[in-house]
Amino acid sequence: MTLDMKNLDLLPACNRLRELAKRPYELSRPGALGRDRFLSFICSGAGFDVLYGTQQVDESVMDALQKLADESGVTGQFKVMKQGEVMNRIHGFDSENRKVLHTATRDVFDESPCNMEASGQAKNELAKLKDFLKDLDDGKITNSDGEAFTDMIHVGIGGSDLGPRAIYLALAVVRRPGRRVCFISNVDPDDAAAVLQGLDLRKTLVNVVSKSGTTLETLTNEELVRSAFVKAGLDPGRHFLAVTGQGSPMDNPEKYLRSFYMFDYIGGRYSSTSMVGGVMLGFALGYDGFVDLLQGADDMDKLAEEKDIRNNPPLILALLGIWNHNFLGYETVAVLPYSQALIRFTAHLQQCDMESNGKSCNRQGRAVEYSTGPILWGEPGTNGQHAFYQLIHQGTATVPVEFIGFRKSQYDDDILIKGTISQEKLNANLLAQSLALAVGKESDNPNQRFSGNRPSTVIMAERLTPYRMGALLAMYEAKIVFQGFIWNINSFDQEGVQLGKVLANRLLDHYSGRRQDAKYSGESKDSLGWAFMEAAGML
């Protein structure tokens, strides 16, 4: 299928949106936030309500955003992506030239999956995982003393760490008794050392995740961990698992107890619902807990195909983001979860969003003349209220906010203090912050004046469960993909991370050469790398 890929600024709806952006909806105007507005500006699905009455939009803007979605063919592009169209490419230039099928990892229970081959491969890996977990539970897989494994070290970096770690922390409440996961990602040796000190290695599995089997940081950390097992008199082959590409250097039964496969059509930052997250989450939550996560993600993926933006949660988030970024000129977006369980979710989104849409050329290899991905940042509330909210409320930069909240706590362990429970205090703060940003406050004292008219969206669900975590993850993944389609950029490669790796390897050659020969000169001492290392005190 040939897709009609046009730059954002060539779509006719842009002219209408530019005109509307000259006089956006004024949230701080008296009477601007009535009951009817709040009840009308809601988009619901897969257990989530997206409340956007505190965005600077009215029905005219929403109609124009609908036209933008239609003219870009964004939902059509999403559908053919799910079916297996090659979307990871730059036409006319060398590129990865791959399909994008992370959605196939969660439509495995559908009668008619969008891509039979990819879904079949995901089913095979899921079946392998189910058998492995059953063998653990039945005592068929134990340590050399016949004891059950209680801990797992998950070794990965980037997409092999951020998403899985965020989900594990988010769902700790449903973790199986006697199961715990620790994470090692940073090549800083102190990261590995700190984790290893607190574990009984005899009862620990190690899950090493690298698609290529050659990721330098991951392989370095793996060898650090292997050496710890050897020093403890343990056979690493009875403890180590691999999640890697089929046929990679890590696909080696002599070194790993079990191997699970990931495929080149799933990018690292979109891989949490593949075996990249599945092995660790299956160990921690159990097979059924991981399946619940997949089902939530699949339900949101289906909603993402809806053409009506008012009934498509990820698309409405994407379009509101484009309205704020491209037409109102707001450069950043803060994602602020009012849930301590989501403490690392914004960190995952930083990679997923900024690595995907931090691009300056379109899918035809030409420079774009408009802003693409925004800077994304944030921390959980209410802690953030005592840190950076001052800038959000009274700073010179307007920062659109996406608040995430839940009506009920995960543990149901709460107490009544001064007439309210803690969860009510948490949610009162969430809603109050959204309203305060919108309405502001007049004062004769300029230091106590709040301009208001600062946009936000509230994303609310009943309780954070595996199903809703899957839906939330898929909602943001689809939002990011939609924005990339509308900007006509490739959201699925990451060339920007490669240059630093190349230069790092050249610098490592200096270290290695000097260790082998004290007189090693390597590149000219006048070279950029040599000079920088000398200045940093590393020579």
Residues annotated catalytic, as ranges: 355, 386, 501
CA-based R_g, the chain, Å = 25
List, in sequence order, every beta strand (DSSP E) within 179-322.
Answer: 180-184, 204-210, 240-245, 258-262
Nearest to 227 by CA among 248, 196, 251, 186: 196
Q: 10 Å Cβ neighbour count for 27?
A: 23
Say if CB 337 and CB 345 are below 8 A apart. yes
Q: 10 Å Cβ neighbour count for 157?
A: 21
Say if CB 392 and CB 446 are below 8 A apart. no
Say if CB 272 and CB 163 are below 8 A apart. yes
Amino acid 378 reads: G
Characterize the bridge pairing of strands 456-461 and 48-51. Answer: antiparallel
Q: Bin 369: left if φ > 0, else alpha if -120 < ψ < 50, else beta.
A: alpha
Which H/E stretch holds residue 482? helix 466-487
Nearest to 401 by CA among 379, 420, 386: 379
What phi and psi, each to the nearest 5 degrees, are found at residue 242?
A: -125, 135
* Terminal Cα distance for the chain, rounded: 55
Tell me which DSSP letter residue 361 carries: B
Angle at 166 between CA 165 and CA 167, to 5 degrees: 90
Q: Is 241 helix (H, G, I), strand (E, B) or coil?
A: strand
Q: Name the percent of the chain in helix, strand, coil, to the closest 5.
A: 50, 15, 40
Cα separation, 242 vs 179, in Å, equals 19
Q: Please tell me the total number of residues recorded for the chain in this structure.
A: 539
Characterize the bridge pairing of strands 48-51 and 42-45. Answer: antiparallel
Contacts 24+ apart (CB under 8 A), 80-87: 80/1, 80/3, 81/481, 82/107, 82/114, 82/115, 82/301, 82/305, 83/114, 83/115, 84/114, 84/115, 84/117, 84/118, 84/265, 85/1, 85/3, 87/490, 87/492
Cα separation, 244 vs 248, in Å, equals 7
What phi and psi, each to the nearest 5 degrees, are found at residue 90?
A: -120, 115
Say if CB 154 and CB 164 are below 8 A apart. yes
